[in-house]
Amino acid sequence: MKSLSRIKVLALWVALIVVWSCKNEPKPQRFILKTKGSHPNLILTQEGVVKIKKHLGTIPIFDSSLEIVKKEVDNEIKNGIEVPVPKHYSGGYTHERHKKNYITMQKAGVLFQILNDDVYANYVKQMLFEYAKLYPTLPVHPKTRSYARGKLFWQCLNDSNWLVYTSQAYDCIYNFLSKNEREILEQELFKPFANFISIENPQFFNRVHNHSTWGSVAVGMMALVMDDDTLLNRALYGIKNLKIDPTLKDNDGGFINKHGKAGFFANLEDPFSPDGYYTEGPYYQRYASYPFLVFAQALQNKKPELEVFKFKDSVLIKSVNALLNLSNAKGEFFLLNDAQKGMSYHTSALVSAVDIAYHFGEQNPELLSIAKQQNRVSLNDAGLTVAMGIKAGKEQPFIKKSIELSDGSNGKQGAVGVLRSKDLELVFKYTAHGLSHGHFDKLSFALFDNGEEVVQDYGLARFVNIEQKGGGNYLKENTTFAKQTIAHNTVVQNKVSHFQGAYEIASKHHSNAYVFSADSDAIKVASAKEFNAYSNTKLHRTMALITLEEDTNPIVLDIFRVESSNKNQYDLPLYYLGQIMQTSFKYSKLDTPEVLGTNNGYQHLYKEAIATSNGENIKFNWLHSNRFYTYTALTSKNDNIIMARIGANDPDYNLRNDPCLIIRKKDTENALFLSVLESHGTYSPVSEIANNAYSNLKDIRVLCNNNDYTAVEFTLINNTQKLFIMSNSSSNLNRTHQLTIKSVKYQWEGAYTLINLNT
Amino acid sequence: MKSLSRIKVLALWVALIVVWSCKNEPKPQRFILKTKGSHPNLILTQEGVVKIKKHLGTIPIFDSSLEIVKKEVDNEIKNGIEVPVPKHYSGGYTHERHKKNYITMQKAGVLFQILNDDVYANYVKQMLFEYAKLYPTLPVHPKTRSYARGKLFWQCLNDSNWLVYTSQAYDCIYNFLSKNEREILEQELFKPFANFISIENPQFFNRVHNHSTWGSVAVGMMALVMDDDTLLNRALYGIKNLKIDPTLKDNDGGFINKHGKAGFFANLEDPFSPDGYYTEGPYYQRYASYPFLVFAQALQNKKPELEVFKFKDSVLIKSVNALLNLSNAKGEFFLLNDAQKGMSYHTSALVSAVDIAYHFGEQNPELLSIAKQQNRVSLNDAGLTVAMGIKAGKEQPFIKKSIELSDGSNGKQGAVGVLRSKDLELVFKYTAHGLSHGHFDKLSFALFDNGEEVVQDYGLARFVNIEQKGGGNYLKENTTFAKQTIAHNTVVQNKVSHFQGAYEIASKHHSNAYVFSADSDAIKVASAKEFNAYSNTKLHRTMALITLEEDTNPIVLDIFRVESSNKNQYDLPLYYLGQIMQTSFKYSKLDTPEVLGTNNGYQHLYKEAIATSNGENIKFNWLHSNRFYTYTALTSKNDNIIMARIGANDPDYNLRNDPCLIIRKKDTENALFLSVLESHGTYSPVSEIANNAYSNLKDIRVLCNNNDYTAVEFTLINNTQKLFIMSNSSSNLNRTHQLTIKSVKYQWEGAYTLINLNT
């Protein structure tokens, strides 16, 4: 069945390519060629090289970066050139070899320029000629999984990676080569290569997606080196007059090209919000940031008249700031949509991004502290500027603040809200779907404490570039579990994922930001609504970080309102990480786990234990990474509490066996999931002392909950009492509200208020 | 039933106390009192104080250590004195409060001496008088779990902790108090306290155990301060003429006093081997090291004629060296017997131990590098010496080497072997049982890679001092799982633990060291035999680290021979940590896990998947902490391969849900478990590059296996072939052997040889 659907997809491409024909390509726009001097002039510039040479040996971080690169390249040169016939998926030998080749060529090109040593130029030259010999002989890659198979690699995406790096190497040795040599490389290798990933694979090239970003940039970079306007036009504006069936999908399940947009500028315009948030999420933004920024750098060097860094109110520079803010205290990116854990701003793409944003932006001194943590710089003009900035002591701490980043090219398709206070970082997702890498988890959240994930987003079900796990590609459990709603910390209705787990539906909708207010240290609030995940059901979640004492972490208040016209079952999972210490409720562990459901991700969860609420608050206390946490939740009598674990129907051990706690409310139209999560204590295995191992919360209760207001009272062990009131119908920060609860009249201005009941 | 057995135990104590009577206490030995000057003269000395004051402000690590202590004590003084009526188990409020009190008193005493500020002396004085008021009113502690309930704490052990610290505080403010005040404290508090934990609890005091070490030292320290020879004699030599029923056990299941030995010197003589290995294992050695060393320090100061540091060929100094060598690259102690993960030489007990070993030993400069890592020193003469050594730049790296540490007071009760090579540290256990904290796991091993545990020892089932988990004490799963053989990486016969899981039997036996040879970088071998774990069955395991290439980790060769006169079933578990990447064999995952057995620890394992061997090598490849591992094992046709997970019959989530792989051989007298474990590759989630993700081993086979020799041939992917031959009957390193295999005659000298078959 799998191969059948693959054949169907292939047949569609053939049909599509037939529809489109070469002669439809428009006449290239003529650019005024402002080649500032001769090569290199793409990323490294001649002026830059002169300046770098002048400062060699005087700027520690630049010198050490150079030293590392030199060692790496020298080692590769020693190992000898190898350009194997392509054979493997990611992680496999030929894949990794070609990848290593392009990375090394790019670096060797730079070394040739900086160190003036022909060894490096010859290395690049020889390798390029090996490729020029091999490439014309290659059919498409033997591995068939991709909707757009490459030649060197199993997908055009990786072929594009190759060209992005190789174009830089070519630029660096351009003048080292004879005209005749250049002619051979361009005719035998570069132009056919660029054509293959563009006009021969329009389903890959002509779309708005991180794939086509790489494709456009690959073609565009090489176009700039070769001064080829036809290719440059194609790169910037897409293949013109191409008709792609708007219902076609790629193998991640995403639409190929629903709106007919294509080319670098469309890829820049569309997925970035005015705040610089990239709709696929930070993991893919990181991936796309290298081509976006490196090509922008090249355009700025060669086509300054395009003012690419000013495009869309400087969205590229903003995007770097947005991305850095979407990382935890350790610099690891938050997991929104498909994302692998551990990816951080220490990755090389972010070294380039930070250097470019500093050099071409407003030289924000906070970026220097990130560069210093990265402990290396790019070996080019931008990297030199950063290195000199660090040497001059200009750096300032990059302080990540609470921030709401809008989604959608117009900034009106929801947002992601990040609340930060003390050690806690809460990520609250109320975005659009995020293209083909989107997960079905509206109004979900994740929590980090001191850089450690405490309430987790599962991330993707994939081991990127680890060949033995499904060729290093997406595993089937990514679709059947990781993308499903139940894999996330948000409400599931009737065991069906948001938007029925259908990309076609999900991609039409987005959540709506409601309130984001993070100026006060005492209370920070993010609130959002989702009306389309389920028809006839409205979801409204408000999350707040409330500081109760000066030197302790704030509590996380979570008010999740569900309103429906039908009676439903609602599940709210909490993917806590760590070991259960204590619960206030009695649970029965099953003798052997049972599978929790049959589809929508439930088939991957084991039910381990079960409890039925007596209607009181439940408390769930656990230990993770030597910190104590307690989740206190309001429950109704007969709510089910399910202690579950990931891992069922996982024949290949593709999933992690992580636990979760599910509160289930049955047979009700409306539901209120109300909870407080505390990070209250620490444990030291060295001193064996447990500090504040217990919750400080005595009680949480709801005093009022209707379309207008939700009022929540909570009482601490020390008898401090607070009242939090949220307006559910007006987010206006200036409006005055009045509400009487238990004969007491409360009056306040703005969408919410926090009242101290003890005074 | 539990309370019934408790009543029985109590009745026995009553009987025992009646047997013994006060008048049997011998006349105290008269010591020549060499009080070097006046108080303080116990741990801090008057000369030391003068010296410390002279150097204040000039030795950074001493000053910063002082600063930390001062801050801590000042904060406690600000909070005020609280001496609550005892009520809780470990982790609970009154327990932690009294613990904090004695720690703070000790520190305040030191601050008074060093800073000459009466605030600190008054704090200690006031607190001591609070205790003097409370103590006489106290019955035994209300919590009943201990075989020796304390008064301030639930067990005499913690009461003894209190006295060890408090005696130091008392010494520091001795001269600050009037004679009358001292008289009150000694009569109302210290003497009754010392009597309670000794003569009133002989089952606690008069034994050889870490408990009685604390008890002896508590009494001894206070005796030294008070110059009380009766108490000192009792501390050093035990309560004389006391008859304890040799079959009595404590609540850990250990014998109280089987051999009639008692007192500090017996506790020093008996559990330490001549190499300084402490029979309970490093976790408890760490715990006992503070009283051992601090009392030795006091004795050296006040009774230098006893030459305590020279006792048993300087075993105390050796023990510090042994303990440091029993830690991984992160400084965390290896898990032998009951041990909590994460305990390391950064704990305060080891700060004292290292300082004392340096000061009173031969000023080994390697200890300074440990002290530097600890980043603090004790605030006394020993700490000052270390601080001055660091300041003078005398430190040298502490290089942990492969080492075999004998067990048993005579060094003839087996050993623990540690093989180290590159990033790998292999711990191989062939010791005696290790008293009441011993686990039933002869010939088990654990593996660390770059400080990360890869093949784990489960450790204890306890959350030390976390009250909500069984009062912070041992959980029942410690007995039912953690101590059982199947919880360890060693062979289990017929699903029954070694020695039938019976302490009475296990404590009579020990494994025998066979070969330990670690001088060569190319190959390091440890081999041991166990003939008593099962009657009629002999176990012989040989583990070797073999370096195949200069810049890669060695492989771990594991030859586990089983010989029996009966047909049995043998299980060998491998408690790998991490995520399964790939297996060479096809396994079937069960729809839902099944419980693996009914007792001996098997009841806590879930069977998740099962495979049956076709008789070929099986390969099991996994990823942990961004490193790739492969376990290649010889199997016989129809061997079962069980993929299991801890967690069954665990109603309170007391266990960690860690995985293991079990190879099961059925219905056979003899068995050979032969495997190679490789740490061969790395993964970076930042660069997303997998390096050497696959095993380098093509094949492993046995060419000969009998009572005389085992010969193993292994072939690498690059066709390198090696032959390892082990003599099973002679460990003589000088003996010449000859063996003909496949018509080739091999000749070598010593117990084993490694032959390169390619040359």
pLDDT digits 0-9 by tens, A575-631? 999 999 999 999 999 999 999 999 999 999 999 999 999 999 999 999 999 999 999
Instruction: Give how far B688 is from chain A: nearest CA, Å.
Output: 6
Contact at CB, A685 and B343, closer than 8 angstroms:
yes
Collapsed DSSP state (helix, strand, coil) of residue A184: helix
Contact at CB, B685 and A468, closer than 8 angstroms:
no
Q: Which two tokens stand for residue B412?
A: 């003839």
Partner B contacted by A717 (CB < 8 A): no
Please, are residues A46 and A301 in contact by the beta-carbon 8 Å criterion? Answer: no
Show Cβ contacts of residue B72 under 8 Å, excluding neighbours closer than 6 positions: B104, B107
Contacts of B98 in chain A (CB under 8 A): none
Per-residue pLDDT tens over the stretch A69-88? 999 999 999 999 999 999 99
Mean pLDDT across chain A, nearest whole number?
Answer: 93
ipTM: 0.91
Nearest to B592 among A580, A594, A687 (CB): A594
Contact at CB, B690 and A466, closer than 8 angstroms:
yes
Contact at CB, A581 and B690, closer than 8 angstroms:
no
Phi, psi of B752 (to 5 degrees): -150, 165
Please, are residues B438 and B506 in contact by the beta-carbon 8 Å criterion? Answer: yes
CA distance A85 to B634: 35
* Type of residue at B587: Y
Partner B contacted by A644 (CB < 8 A): no
pLDDT of residue B41: 95
CA distance B322 to A739: 70
Partner B contacted by A77 (CB < 8 A): no
Total CB pairs under 8 A between chain A and B:
120
Partner A contacted by B72 (CB < 8 A): no
pLDDT band at A37 (very low <50, low <70, confident <90, very high): low
pLDDT band at A29 (very low <50, low <70, confident <90, very high): low
Collapsed DSSP state (helix, strand, coil) of residue B288: helix
Q: Which two tokens stand for residue A529?
A: 């609504």
Contacts of A653 in chain B (CB under 8 A): 579-580, 589
Q: Which residue is it, tokens 């003390």?
A: A422
Nearest to A468 among B581, B648, B656 (CB): B581
Contacts of A606 in chain B (CB under 8 A): 592-593
Mark which residues 472-491 of A lie under 8 Å from B by CB: 472
CA distances in angstroms from B688 to A99, A287, A463, B55, B242, listed in the order given? 12, 11, 9, 52, 68
Contact at CB, B468 and A693, closer than 8 angstroms:
yes
pLDDT at A40 over 60: yes
Architecture of domain A1-28+56-242: Alpha/alpha barrel (1.50)
Phi, psi of B670 (to 5 degrees): -105, 155
Contacts of B342 in chain A (CB under 8 A): 626, 685-686
Give the residue among B211, B320, B303, B257 at the shortest CA–CA distance from B16.
Answer: B257
Q: Which residues of B are catalytic?
A: 284, 437
Domain spans, chain B: 45-58+273-400, 81-270, 410-695, 696-759
pLDDT at A251 over 80: no
Partner B contacted by A428 (CB < 8 A): no
Q: Is A284 a catalytic residue?
A: yes
A403-695: CATH topology is Beta-galactosidase; Chain A, domain 5 (2.70.98)
Instruction: Give how far B649 is from chain A: nearest CA, Å.
Output: 7
pLDDT at A293 over 70: yes
Partner B contacted by A595 (CB < 8 A): yes
Architecture of domain B81-270: Alpha/alpha barrel (1.50)
pLDDT at A31 over 60: no
Partner A contacted by B715 (CB < 8 A): no
Mark which residues 521-560 of A lie under 8 Å from B by CB: none
SS3 letters for B359-391?
A: HHCCCCHHHHHHHHHHCCCCCCHHHHHHHHHHH
pLDDT at A6 over 50: no
Partner A contacted by B151 (CB < 8 A): no
Nearest to A686 among B343, B606, B652 (CB): B343
Contacts of A576 in chain B (CB under 8 A): none
Contacts of A468 in chain B (CB under 8 A): 581-582, 621, 693-694
Please, are residues B563 and B673 in contact by the beta-carbon 8 Å criterion? Answer: no
Per-residue pLDDT tens over the stretch A487-546? 999 999 999 999 999 999 999 999 999 999 999 999 999 999 999 999 999 999 999 999
Q: Which two tokens stand for residue B183?
A: 């008289």
Long-range contacts of A44-47 (CB under 8 A, 24+ apart): A44/A110, A44/A113, A44/A168, A44/A171, A44/A172, A44/A379, A44/A380, A44/A381, A45/A301, A45/A381, A47/A381
Collapsed DSSP state (helix, strand, coil) of residue B272: strand
Give CATH superfamily name and number for B45-58+273-400: Chondroitin AC/alginate lyase (1.50.10.100)
pLDDT at A452 over 90: yes
Mutate to test the interface with B, among A93, A340, A592, A594 (most CBs of B within 10 A): A592
Show Cβ contacts of residue A6 under 8 Å, excluding neighbours closer than 6 positions: A144, A145
Mark which residues 116-145 of A lie under 8 Å from B by CB: none
Cα angle value A246/A248/A249 (rounded, 5°): 125
Contact at CB, A343 and B463, closer than 8 angstroms:
no
Contact at CB, B645 and A657, closer than 8 angstroms:
yes
Contact at CB, B579 and A656, closer than 8 angstroms:
yes
* Catalytic residue from among A102, A174, A237, A284: A284
Instruction: Give how far A190 is from chain B: nearest CA, Å.
Output: 26
Partner B contacted by A364 (CB < 8 A): no
Partner A contacted by B616 (CB < 8 A): no
Show Cβ contacts of residue B550 under 8 Å, excluding neighbours closer than 6 positions: none
Contact at CB, B690 and A472, closer than 8 angstroms:
yes
Partner B contacted by A469 (CB < 8 A): yes
pLDDT at A25 over 80: no
Which of 2.70.98.70, 2.40.50.140, 2.40.110.10, 3.40.718.10 would CATH assign to domain B410-695? 2.70.98.70
pLDDT at A702 over 70: yes
Please, are residues B431 and B407 in contact by the beta-carbon 8 Å criterion? Answer: yes
| Average pLDDT, consecutive stretches of 10 residues, N- to C-terminus, chain B (759 residues) | 45 44 46 61 95 96 97 97 95 93 98 97 98 97 95 97 98 97 98 97 92 96 97 95 80 75 93 96 94 96 96 96 98 98 97 97 97 97 97 97 97 98 98 95 98 98 95 95 98 98 96 97 97 97 95 96 98 98 97 98 98 97 98 97 98 98 97 98 95 96 97 96 97 94 95 93
Would B45-58+273-400 and B410-695 be classified into the same CATH topology?
no
Contacts of A651 in chain B (CB under 8 A): 589
Average pLDDT rounded to a whole number, residues A42-51: 95
pLDDT of residue A35: 46
Contacts of A343 in chain B (CB under 8 A): 685-686, 688
Instruction: Give how far B53 is from chain A: nearest CA, Å.
Output: 29
Per-residue pLDDT tens over the stretch A347-377? 999 999 999 999 999 999 999 999 999 999 9
Q: Which two tokens stand for residue B532?
A: 């008593």
